[in-house]
Structure 1
Amino acid sequence: MAVPLRPLVAALCVGLVATLFTTAPTNARAEAPSDAEAWTVSAAPGAPRARIALDEDTGAVSLAVTRGGRTVIEPSPVGIVTESADLSTSLRSLGRTDRQIDERYRTKSGKRLERRVRMQETRLSFGTAAGDRFDLVVRASADGIAYRYVLPAGSGDVLRETSAFNLPPDADAWLGTYRADNEGQFTQYTASTAPTGEYSDQALFATAGGYTLLAESDLTGAYSGARLAHDQGSGTYRIKLADDRVDAEGQLATPWRAMVTGDLATVTRSTFTDDLAPGSKVTDSSWVRPGSVLWTWLAGGREAGQSLAAQKSYVDYAAERGWPYEAVDAGWYYKPGEWETTDPDWQTNSWMPELVDYARDKGVGIVVWIHHRDLDTPQERAQWLPTLERWGVKGVKIDFMDSETQSMLQWYDTILPATAEHHLMVDFHGSTIPKGIQRTWPHVMTLEGVAGEEKRTNTAAHLTTLPFTRNVIGSMDFTPGAFQRVGLRPNSDAAETGLPVVYESGLQMYAGTPESYDARPLAREFFDQLPAAWDDTRLLSGKPGKEAVLARRSGERWFLGGVYAGAAHTAEVPLSIGSGQWLVETIRDGADGLVRKRQVLRGGETLGVDVVANGGFAGIACPWRPGVTNCAR
C-alpha cells in the first residue's frame, strides 16, 4: 500500500494538535499557583508532584518533581528553540487551563490487558515580547509525570530542545550507552560519575523520592527520537535529538518527556508510556494473537532459513509442543549462498507458500524475517505486503532500521498502517523502542531494542537490570531459551527457563534448538504452558543489577521467573500473589540438571529457592485445594 509520507504525518500532527489546543478547561485537581510564577500539578495526595516555575529575572521555565515531599528530579530547564524564536528564555506567562483524564483501554499484550488511565493535565501558555508562544502540557498520574511542547503553526523548524533532567549527583543510575539499534549494555553508576557520553533515554535513577525511569512517548515522524547527553561530574542529562533540525509543518506537538516514578514495584508494573500515547488506530484487532514462537535463527542460522525441509521440521516441533508460531529468519528469499542480493523472482521461486500451507494444516502460523530495505519504498511495500497476506503469513520481523531520525520515523508512520491493513503482526528488530507504539498500533507485538540473547557480551547484572529499564516501557524481544549457548550466556539453565516470565513479549521468540529443549524436559514443559499475554504483573523482589523476580498472572495461575547476579545463595521471595493457599512448583538448578520442587504455601509467606551463582528459577503457583497435585493444564 503506497502511503504519501508528508500528507500522512501532517494529517496526524494537525489532528492531534487541534485536539490539544481546543480542549476545554474543566474543574482542576491541580493546585492553584502559590504565586503568579509557579504552579504545581499532581494526580492525588502522595502521587508524584510536578512544580513548574518561571524565573522572574531570566524568564526561563523549570520543572521539578517530588514524591512524598522528597526530591525525584531537581529543578530542570524546560524550553525549545525554533527557527523563529528561542522559547527557553525571556518568557512570560499567558494563562493556564486544566482537565482530568479518565480512560479505559484494552491491549493485546503487555503487563496487563485491561488498563485504566487517570491523569491530571495542566496546560501552561508562555510567550515572548515579540509574540512567539508555546504551550507546556504537563500530565501527572499515580506513577509518573510527563510534559510536551505544543507549538502553533508558523513557529518554523525545531533546532533543539533545552530540556534536561537534573538528578542529585549521588543518585544511583543504571544507564545504557546509546546505540542506534538501542542495544547498549546497562551499567550502574551514580548520576554524576557516569562517563561523558550519550545514553539511551530509558535511564533509571534512585533518589530520595524513589525510583525514576526517564522515557519518551508518542514518538512519530513529526519529530526526532531523543537520547540523553551527559558530562561526567554533573547530575544533568540533556535531551539531544537525532536530527540537527526537525522539519515542522503547521502546528506541532512534540513527544512526551516522561518520568515513571514510584517505588521499584510501581515503576516495574507501570504502563505510563502506553497511557500517554494515542488510542488504537486499528479498528478490528481480532486477528492479533500473542503467542509462543519457535525461532530458528540461533537454532539453525541462515542455512536453515534457506531450507524448506529444515523449516518443515521446525513446524513439526512447534506443532508437537502446541506453540502457535514458527519464525523463518534471514535466508528464505535470498539466492543460495548470498547475503546481500535478493532474488528478483522471489514470489515465483519461493517455497514459502508451501511452508505456510504445511504449517496451517498443523495449526502453526508462520512469521517471516524481512530486511527494512525491502520495504522502504511504496513500490516494494505494494509488492511484499499483499503477497505475504495472500500466502497466509501471520507476521513479519522487520530488521535493520537502526535509526530514530525523523525520516526513519516517517517510515514507521507508513509501515504501521500498511502492515495492519494486510493483517500482519510485527516484530521490529534493529529498531526503536516501544514509546507507546503498542497502544496506538496493537499489532506491534514486540520490538528488539535490547542487548538480547544473540549477544555474547551480556552479563548477569545486565539481565537483572532489563526488567527495570527497557522492559518497563513495552514488549521486549530478548529471544530467551537458547539453552544450547552454554558458555555464551551468563546465566544458568534455571534462570534461562525463567526469562520468558521475567521478560514480557507479545511474541515470545524461543531461541533454542529442539534438541536443547528435549534435553531439558522440565524447561520444555514449562515453556509449553506459558502464555504470551498477561492479566496482571507484580514484582516480588528486585534490585537492578542484583535480582529480579516477577510474577505474571494468566487466569488463576501465576507464573514466576527469577534471575540473579552474584554468588550462590538461598533466595527468599515474598509470595505476594494473593491470600489463600497456593501450590507452588519451582524449577531450579540441580547437581545433574534441572529439578522440580512442589510445596503448599500461603499467600504472603516466603518462598525459599536455592540459587546457583548467576542463577535463577522458574515456577507456577496455582490455588491449592485437596486433591490438587500439580499446576499443569
Structure 2
Amino acid sequence: MRLRRLSSTVLGAALIAALIPGSATAAAPQAWSVAGPGAAVTARLALDDTGHLSFGVDLRGSPVLAPAPIGITTTDADLSAGLSFVSRADRTVRERYTKTTGKQLRRDVTLTESTFSFTGTRGAHLDVVVRVSAEGAAYRYVLPSGGTVTGETSSFTLPVAAPAWVLPYNSNYENARVQTTAGAAATGDYGFPLLAQVGADYVLLSESDVDGRYDGARLSHVAGESAYRIRLDDAQITATGRLATPWRTAAVGDLATVTGSMLTDDLAPPSKLTDTSWVRPGMVAWSWLSEHSSPSDPARQRQYIDFAARNGWPYVLIDEGWNAEWVPSVVRYARARGVDVLLWFHWTSLDTVQERDRMLPLLKSWGVAGVKVDFMDSDSQARFRWYDDILAATAAQHLMINFHGATIPRGLQRTWPHVMTLEAIRGAEQFRTRAAQNTIFPFTRNVVGGMDYTPVTWAVTDRDTTDAHEVALALVYESGWQHLADRPETYEAHPEALRTLSQLPTVWDESKLLSGAPGQETVFARRHDDRWYVGGISAVAAKTYSTELDFLGNGRFLAETLRDGDDGLVRESRIVRRTDTLSVPERANGGFVTVLCAYTGSATCDRPVRRVPATTLTVDPASADVRPGGTVTVAATFTLPAGGPITGVTLAPAPPAGWTVSGATVRDSSMRGGDSLRGSWRLTAPADLATGFTDLPVAAEFTFTGDPGSPDTPGKRPVHVEQAVRVLVPPANPAGTAAVSDLPFLTESNGYGPVERDQSNGEADSGDGRPLTLRGTAYAKGLGMHSPGEVTIWLGGACTAFSALVGIDDEVTQSGSADFQVLGDGRALAASGVRRSADPAATLAADVTGVQILTLRATDGGDGKNFDHADWADAKVSCAG
C-alpha cells in the first residue's frame, strides 16, 4: 500500500476548509495511490484545485486508464465538484468463496481497499471506496445518509486509437459486437463489458454488485472523444438510508489475465444461500430453436426426454407453449428416467408476489427443477428490485433459474448460486452465426459470468462455422446450464459430436486461456476434477494449431481429439506428457475439442453414461372425487421388471400440504429384476380443501449399483419415480341460466396470459383486456381466450344446453384464426370450424345433458397462434333450479 503523503500544512488547510460550511477556500491538488497485491496494478485517485475527482489505473507503472472524472449528484448536493478531502482509511480484504457455476469454482483472492472521505457543498458527505487486486481495480460511492441520485459524472478515459470491441447498447444485450477504436466508436450508448487494447495490455470495463438499491448502468460515448461516461437507466434512483453504489470495475492485464478475471464476482456480496446441495449444473436438451412448436407437444417433449436419458443429459427445457394440464405427467415421465424438467416463463407471469406465491410452490410440487424467465429487457431500478424478489422466491422453493432477455451478470452468480446462466448475448437463436463474432464473446461477455448462447446447432443454416467449431462452443463458452439447441435426430446423425457432448462438464475447477485474440480465435484449457479439456474455435484461415501441455500433471495422459475431417467429424487419440505439444489441424472457421485423461491402458477417455434402470409404478384408483375432510385409500405397486439391483428403495405418498396420511413408508434395501414393492395408505383431505383438481402423488425413490452420475455431479443420487391419483373436489352445481364467466374454472390454459372473464385477452396479466367486441358489437359477458386456450367447468350433470357467439376479437391488428370446440366429459359435442377475423360472429350451441365436466377449447386454426384473440361472447349454460 503506497500513500503520497501531504504536508501537515496542506492537510490542515484542507480539513479546516471542510469544517467551515460554505467555505470557498480551494485546497491544493491532491493525489493518492492504492496498490494491489504484488503492486502490478495501481489505482490513482486525485482531487484538483476546484474539488473535482478523477480515477485512473496503472499497470506495471504505465497508465492503462488515464485519469478520468468521477462523481455523483443527488437532489440535495452536487458531489462531483467542490469537494474537500477529509480522511483516508486502509484495509486488506480477503475473499474466499466457492461457487456452483463458472470458470473457477473455488476462489481465494486478496484485495487492498482504501476509503476516501470528502465533504461537498452544505457539508454533504461522500465516501469513495477503491479496491485493487492483482487483476484489476474498482471504485464505488457511499452516501452515508442515502438520498435521491440524479446521475453520475463517472467515466473512463481510453486512448482514441486503442482497438476496442464494443456493444451498441440495448436492454437485452443482444446486438452484434463491433470491432473499432475507442475514439472511432459512433456516438451513442454501449453495454458492458467493453474491451479495449492499450498498448500491449487490455482493459475490460464493467460493473459489479447491482441490485434493487440502484440500477444498471451503461457507457455513453461521443464519436472522436476518448471518454466513456457512465449513464444510469433511471432519471432518479431512490435510496433509504446508507447507499453504497455498484462498483465501477476495470480488469487489466494481458488477455489471459482479463479472460481469467473474476473481479466482478470478487466484489459481489457473498452467497445468500447456506445450502446449495440442490443446485446442479449440467447439459440441457432444448427444443424451441430447432422446432418452435415442440414445447406445446407433450409427446415430442417425451422424445427429447428419452434422448436426454440415453445420453446422460440431466435436463430438458420445455420452452414457451407448455400447458399445465400435461406438464406434471411429463415431469413424472422425465424423473423416472433420471431427467429433470425446466420450464419457461414470461417474466410478467411472475412479476407479483401473488403470482410467485401461487406458481413457484406449484412447480415444486410437480417436481420441476428450475425455470427460465424471459423478456425482462430493462436495466431500471424497478427491474432490479424484481430480480431481488424472484431470486429470493425461487431459492426458497429450491428452484434453479436462467434469465433470458436479461441484463448481464454483475456478480449475481456468487450472491445467488442457483442462477445457472444468463443470456445477454447474440446467441444461436438469432439464426445467423459468424465465427468472427463467436471469437469475440470469450474475451467480453463471457468473462463476467455464465452465457446462455444455446450452442451446437445444425438448425442454423446461415452460419460460416464448421461442425467442430459448433461442438467446441459447448466447451469454450462457460454456462452452468448448457442448452444444446438441436433435435435428437440431428445429434444422432452426428454421433462423434454427440459422444463428445455427453462427456463434457459445464463447470470448471480452473480455466486457462492458451491463445487467441478477439475476432480471430480462442483456445481454452479447462480442468474438471482430474482431467483437462482443451477447446478451440477459429475465425481465421485453415492452419495447424499447436500448444504446449505444461499445465498437465506428471505421468502419461490420453489425448482424445474431435476435429473436422474430410468427410465430417473425426476422432484421434495419442498418448502425451506435460512436456509434449498438442497439434491439431483446423479448417477455416473451424474448431476442436481435446479431452486429456490419465492414461490407464484404455483406448478412450469416455466415462460411462448415466442410464437409469427402467421401472414401473401404478396407483389405484387412478382418479377419485373427494369432499373437504373426506378420505381416499390409495394402493401402489413399484416394480423393477429386469436388471438391477437397485438399492435403498422407498415407497410412500407425497400429498399436498394439509393432507394427512395413515400408513408407513414401505422400504426395501435391494430389489432385483422381477421384484415388486407394494403399499396402501389412507389419505384425508383438509377441511378447507379448495374446489378443483388436485394430484395425490405416490413416489418411489432408489439408487442403483454402478451409477456413474453426470460429468458435473459424479456418484449416486436418488431416482424419483412418481404417479398420482387425480382427485376432483367439485364445486356446487350451476343453477338456472348461468354465465360461464361467473362459474369457477376447474382448469385453465391459454396461449398468452390468463383466460379473461368478461373481457378480451390482454396477453399478459389478469384484467388487462378490453370489452369483448365482435364485428362492432360489444358484449358484457363471456370469455376472452388466446389460442391455444382451454377451460374446464363443472356442470355436475345439472345442465342441458350451452351456447355462445364465437369469433376473433376486433382488437387484433392482423388476421387471427381459431377453431372453437365444445367437449363434454372428453367427448366432442360441437365445433365452429376455423373462424377468421373477417368472419361474422358464429352461434355455437351444444346439448350438455348429463355432462359432468364441460370443456371449451380454442385451437390456433392451423396457422400459428399470433393474433388469435378468441372470444366466447355471451357464453352461458341452461341448468336445473
- TM-score, length basis structure 2: 0.65
Q: Which residue of 1 aligns with 2:317?
A: 327
Instruction: State how far apart, in whole Å, the 2-side matches of 1:457 and 1:46 are.
Output: 44
Q: Mean alpha-carbon deviation: is it higher for 126-135 or for 492-501? A: 126-135
Q: 2:3 — aligned with what? A: 31
Partner of 2:475: 501
Q: Are positions 1:491 and 2:451 aligned together?
A: no
CA distance in 1, matches of 2:390, 2:605: 42
- Aligned-pair CA distance for 1:586: 1.2
Query: Which AA in structure 2 matches 1:428?
Result: F
In the alignment, is the contact (CA less than 8 A) between 2:77 and 2:121 conserved in 1? no
The root-mean-square deviation of aligned C-alpha atoms, in Å, is 1.4
Aligned-partner Cα distance in 1 for 2:535–2:225: 37
> How far is 1:389 from its partner?
0.7
Cross-structure match for 2:284: 293
Which residue number in structure 1 is paired with residue 547 of structure 2?
573
Could you report, residue by residue, the CA deviation over 1:462-506 in whole angstroms, capped at 9, with x for unpaired residues?
A: 100111100000011011111232x32331100111111100111
* Bigger mean CA offset, 195-204 vs 33-42: 33-42
Distance 2:591 2:481 in 1: 23
Among 289, 294, 298, the residue aligned to 1:304: 294
What amino acid maps onto 1:143 in structure 2? E
Q: Is residue 415 from structure 1 mapped to residue 390 from structure 2 by the alignment?
A: yes
- Offset from partner CA, 1:240-264 (integer Å, 9 cap, x none): 0111111222221100000011111
| Structure 2 unmatched runs, 5+ | 12-29, 608-881
288-297 or 605-614, which deviates more: 605-614
Partner SS, residue 297 of structure 1: coil
Question: How far did 1:577 drift?
Answer: 2.1
**1:381-396 alignment to 2 at 5 Å?**
381-396=356-371
Q: Distance in 1 between matches of 2:40 and 2:497?
A: 41
Report if aligned partners of 1:541, 1:574 keep a CA contact under 8 Å in 2. no
3-state secondary structure, aligned to 2:218: strand
SS in 2 for 1:417: helix
Aligned length: 585
Higher helix share: 1
Q: 1 CA distance for matches of 2:353 and 2:422?
A: 23
**Which amino acid letter does the alignment assign opposite residue 31 of structure 1?**
L
In the alignment, which residue of structure 2 is the partner of 1:274? 265
Query: Could you tell me which of 475, 479, 486 is aligned with 1:512?
Result: 486
Assess if the C-alpha contact under 8 Å between 1:30 and 1:120 holds in 2.
no
Letter of the aligned partner of 1:535 in structure 2? D
Partner of 1:465: 440
- What is aligned with 1:48? 41
Aligned residue among 266, 274, 281 for 1:283: 274
SS at match of 1:130: helix
Residue matched to 1:4: none
Q: Who is 1:18 aligned against?
A: none
* TM-score of the aligned structures, taking structure 1 as reference length: 0.90
Q: How many angstroms does 1:578 deviate by? A: 2.5
Q: Secondary structure at the match of 1:121?
A: strand
Q: Match of 1:224?
A: 215
- The alpha carbon displacement at 1:378 in A equals 1.3
CA distance in 2, matches of 1:300, 1:95: 62
Return the alpha-carbon distance in structure 1 between the equivalents of residues 581 and 522 of structure 2.
16
C-alpha separation between the residues in 2 aligned to 1:618 and 1:583? 13
Residues 30, 43 of structure 1: 8 Å contact kept = no
Alignment map for 1:173-184 (pairs within 5 Å): 173-184=164-175
Q: State whether structure 2 residue 101 is matched by structure 1 residue 112.
A: no
- Indicate whether 1:81 and 2:73 are aligned: yes
Distance in 2 (alpha carbons) for counterparts of 1:162 and 1:576: 46
SS of equivalent residue, structure 1 residue 283: coil
Q: What SS does the corresponding residue of 2:310 show, helix, strand or coil?
A: helix
In the TM superposition, residue 573 of structure 1 has moved relative to its aligned partner by 2.8
Give the letter aligned to residue 313 of structure 1.
Q
Please tell me whether residue 544 in structure 1 is matched to residue 518 in structure 2: yes
Contact in 2 for aligned 1:446/1:476 (Cα 8 Å): yes
- Over residues 390-418 of structure 1, what are the superposed CA-to-partner deviations in whole Å (9 max), with x where a residue is unaligned? 11100000000000111111100100000
- How far the C-alpha of 1:576 sits from its partner, in A, is 4.2
One-letter amino acid of the counterpart of residue 222, structure 1: R
Q: Is 1:255 equivalent to 2:246 in the alignment?
A: yes
Corresponding residue for residue 317 of structure 1: 307
Q: In 2, distance between residues paired with 1:604 and 1:186?
A: 38
Q: Distance in 2 between matches of 1:535 and 1:79?
A: 39
Per the alignment, residue 148 of structure 1 pairs with 140
Which protein has greater RCO, CA pairs closer than 8 Å, 6+ apart?
Answer: 1
Counterpart among 450, 455, 463 of residue 480 in structure 1: 455
* 1:499 counterpart letter in structure 2: L
Tell me whether 1:426 sits opposite 2:401 in the alignment. Answer: yes
Instruction: Check 1:213–1:33 CA distance in 2 against 1; reply closer, same or farther (3 A cut).
Output: farther
The answer to which of 436-445 and 194-203 deviates more is 194-203
Cα 1:477–1:576 shift into 2, 3 Å: farther
**Equivalent position of 2:82 in the other structure:** 90
- Within 2, Cα distance between the matches of 1:168 and 1:512? 43
In structure 1, what is the Cα distance between the partners aligned to 2:575 and 2:458? 30
Q: Which moved more, 1:384-393 or 1:576-585?
A: 576-585
Q: 527-536 vs 43-52, which deviates more? A: 43-52
Residue 563 of structure 1 corresponds to: 537
Q: Tell me the equivalent position of 1:623.
A: 598
Q: 2:130 aligns with which of 108, 130, 138?
A: 138
Q: Which has the higher strand share?
A: 2
Q: Deviations over 1:519-564 (max 9, x none)?
A: 1111101111111221111111111110100111111111121111
What is the SS of the residue equivalent to 2:508?
Answer: coil
Aligned mates of 1:152, 1:293 — CA distance in 2: 46
Q: Per-residue deviation at 1:454?
A: 0.6
Answer with 1 or 2: which has the greater Rg: 2
Give, in angstroms, the shift of residue 149 of structure 1.
0.3
Give the aligned partner of residue 13 of structure 1.
none
Which AA in structure 1 matches 2:105?
L
Q: CA deviation at 1:117?
A: 2.3
* Secondary structure of the corresponding residue to residue 439 of structure 2: helix
Structure 1: 5+ residue runs without aligned partners?
Answer: 1-28, 334-345
- Contact 1:185/1:458 (<8 A) preserved: no
Matched residues in 2 for 1:34 and 1:308: separation?
Answer: 73
Mapping of residues 4-23 of structure 1, within 5 Å: none
Measure how far apart 1:272 and its partner are. Answer: 1.0
Choose the corresponding residue for 2:228, options 237, 243, 262: 237
- In the alignment, which residue of structure 2 is the partner of 1:526? 500
Match of 1:357 in 2: 332
Shifted more, 245-254 versus 409-418: the winner is 245-254
CA contact (8 A) 2:282 2:482 kept: yes
Identity %: 49
**SS of aligned partner of 1:260:** strand
- CA positional deviation for 1:321: 0.4
Q: Which amino acid aligns with 1:523?
A: A
| SS at structure 2 position matched to 1:512 | coil
1:596 aligns with 2:548: no
How many Å separate the matches in 1 of 2:177 and 2:4?
40
| Partners of 1:91 and 1:132 in 2: CA distance | 9
Given that 1:560 and 1:619 are in contact with CA atoms closer than 8 Å, whether structure 2 keeps it comes out as: yes
